[in-house]
Each structure stands twice: as structure tokens, then as C-alpha cells.
Amino acid sequence: MSVDPFGNGLAVGTATIADGLGSPSSLTWAANSRLLDTVVAVTDRDITTAMAFAFTFE
């Protein structure tokens, strides 16, 4: 695992269910920096728990 070259502190190459973390680029980082106010770090378990909860509703 290594820190990304764009200086945002995210780990590159880490296996995760959040596949968007696997390939950050200067383009996506620039867009997110402009459009988002906050970024929240969650674990894979948090993601799968939220997905299971969401899929219990029709």
C-alpha cells in the first residue's frame, strides 16, 4: 500500500469494496474537491451494513 501521488492521503492499491478508491486521479480529485464539502471515511463493514439495511426496503 502506498500514499497516492495527489497528496490527498488516501491509500492506493488497498483492496476494498469501495472500488472508486482504487484508482484516484487528478481529474476525479479535482472534481470532488470542487463539488464536495465533506468526505467521510468508512470501513468496508460500514458499507456492507448500510447496503444490507437499504436493500431491506422495497
Identify the band that residue 1 occupies on the pLDDT scale cut at 50, 70 and 90: very low
Rounded-to-integer distance, Cα 10 and Cα 14, Å = 9
Name the average pLDDT for the chain.
Answer: 75
Classify burial at 3, counting beta carbons within 10 Å of its beta carbon; exposed 0-12, middle 13-18, buried 19 or more: exposed
Q: Per the structure, how many domains does the chain have?
A: 1
Query: Looking at residues 27-46, what average pLDDT do you find?
Result: 83
Please report, rounded to a whole number, the percentage of residues in the chain having pLDDT higher than 70: 64
Domain range spanning residue 10? 2-54
